Structure 1
Amino acid sequence: MQHIADWEGYRFDYRDSGTGPVILLIHGTQSDYREVYHVERLIEAGYRIIVPSRPGYGKTPLRVASSPGELAAFYRRWLASRHLERYTVYGISAGGPTAIALASGNPAVSSLVLACAMTHQISLPYQDWLVQPLLQRPLQLVQWILWHYVKDKLVKFPQEASVRMVEMTSLLQRDEIRRQLDGADQQLLYQVGLQNGPGRGVLFDLTQQIDRPLLQAIRCPVLIVHSKADRAVPFEHALYARRAIAHAQFIESASPGHLIWIGPSARRDERMIERFIALNHL
């Protein structure tokens, strides 16, 4: 269910579902408060899930924050204002830098999960051009056309469209991806494809930086889950975080690409995350 908050002069949307220990889930690129990865299973497992739309996504304006550190400070104040004094932070993909900044030196965070997460600045071809202000409207149009195409193909050819979606963020060959996906994966990707869409938040995501000292200052338990087949956020991001956070636990996912919630190890990875959160929510 969508909620609208008016706080510190900003209006933003978020989801707040379930009861029990609190998990603040920080979504990735081209998503919003409707994030579907692992959310319903965590609610069924007895957790309260809060998913705010990050800057530039949903109804959250881009001006809420200009960096992961600013956004983390905003979330920290907002949660404190709601008298939430203990919570797990679950950072997905481009939500990783904000999750790291929020967990660093924050005694309210009981544990941190980094799932296929960015842990330092991403590097893309033509990145300096992609972040130019004059290009933002054309890029949004390109995103809109791409997602409209994806949604159309998901409706008409769900099986093959699911394979192509994974292929965009995978280092594996198409036939190998096809062998690894089952009906549940296709249903999840169908849901993701219909929910996700363009947003100005891509500009925020491409310019994110996180300083190594922030990673080193994390004292809460940390679990890193990542796949070597990830093209969107290379496996090196997981290794970087693992080196910087000496006490971090690590799971190498067998996911066929960027999304650890699909493929042959998906449910195992989710159970390990659930177990980790349960053991460390003190």
Structure 2
Amino acid sequence: MHYIAEWKGQRFDYRDSGSGPVILLIHGTQSDYREVYHVEKLIAAGYRVIVPSRPGYGITSLHLADTPETLAAFYAGWLASRHIHRYTVYGISAGGPTAIALAGQNPAVTSLVLACAMTQRIVLPYQRILIQPVLQRPLQLIQWGLWTYVKDKIRKFPQEAAVRMVEMTSLLPRETIRTHLSETDASLLYEVGLQNGPGRGVLFDITQDLEQERLEAVTCPVLIVHSRSDRAVPFEHAERARRMIRHAQFIESKSPGHLIWIGPSARRDERMIERFIGLNQMT
């Protein structure tokens, strides 16, 4: 179910579906409360999944928070106000820093999943120019134009569009990617491509950073899942988390790119995440 809430003077939207142990899923770039990856399977596995739209996505204001730490504090307080005092945090891609900050020394968090997650600032070409306030409106218009084009191609050429979508976030050549994608993968990417879109939250995503102390503060059980073929969030982000969170478990995904829910190990990775969450909800 889609809800619109107001807390501490901030208006935001979120999805709250399923019943059972709670998972707070923190989505990645150019997504929102409608996040597709793994959500329905988690609900089917007996979990209640809450997915808030992060700053700059959905109806959530970009000004709701300016750092992963302030966003984490907002989520912790909001969940406590709803009498939710025990939950797993599942951080995807650019949602990783907030997930880590939220899990650090927070007794309410029973476990942390980092899926292709950022653990430090992403460095982009011309980043200092891209974050200038005067350019935000033109960049928004460019994003809208690009996504309109992409969605048109997805509808007309779904199989080829799936390959190109993965290629944008992969270190592998196009033909290799093609051999890794199944019809199920193409169907999922079709759904993702039509659901995702531009958002001002990109500005939050590319400027967020995470100090080493935040990683070292995480004491709850942690599972890291990442692919070496990831171009969008390089494998070094997973390696940093493994160094700083010494008790973390790690699964190397065989995904052909950024998205661990795509490729030959996708269902294995999802089941391992579900098992990890289940075991740590019981303790």
1:115 maps to 115
Report the aligned-residue RMSD.
Answer: 0.5
Q: CA deviation at 1:195?
A: 0.4
Cα displacement string for residues 186-231 of structure 1 (whole angstroms, at most 9, x for unaligned residues): 1100000000000000000011011101100101000000000000
Check if 1:26 corresponds to 2:41: no
Distance, in Å, in 2 between the alignment partners of 1:66 and 1:89 is 20
2:133 maps to 133
Which sections of structure 2, spanning at least 5 residues, go unmatched?
A: none
Distance, in Å, in 2 between the alignment partners of 1:146 and 1:272 is 35
1:174 maps to 174
Distance, in Å, in 1 between the alignment partners of 2:113 and 2:37 is 13
Cα displacement string for residues 69-108 of structure 1 (whole angstroms, at most 9, x for unaligned residues): 0000000000000000000000000000000000001010
2:236 maps to 236
Q: CA deviation at 1:142?
A: 1.3
2:106 maps to 106
Distance, in Å, in 2 between the alignment partners of 1:180 and 1:32 is 27
Q: CA deviation at 1:109?
A: 0.2
> Which SS does the other structure have where 2:214 is aligned?
helix
2:160 maps to 160
Structure 1 consecutive aligned stretches of length 4 or more whose deviation exceeds 6 Å: none
Q: Following superposition of structure 1 onto structure 2, how do residues 71-90 of structure 1 map, counting pairs within 5 Å?
A: 71-90=71-90
1:15 maps to 15
Cα displacement string for residues 22-57 of structure 1 (whole angstroms, at most 9, x for unaligned residues): 000000000000000000000000000000000000
Q: Following superposition of structure 1 onto structure 2, how do residues 1-282 of structure 1 map, counting pairs within 5 Å?
A: 1-281=1-281, 282=283
**Residue identity matched to 1:127:** Q
> Which SS does the other structure have where 1:3 is aligned?
strand
Q: CA deviation at 1:139?
A: 1.1
Percent identity between the two aligned chains: 76
Distance, in Å, in 1 between the alignment partners of 2:138 and 2:28 is 21
Distance, in Å, in 1 between the alignment partners of 2:111 and 2:220 is 5
Distance, in Å, in 1 between the alignment partners of 2:247 and 2:128 is 35
Distance, in Å, in 2 between the alignment partners of 1:146 and 1:2 is 27
Distance, in Å, in 1 between the alignment partners of 2:235 and 2:143 is 25
What TM-score, normalized to structure 2? 0.99
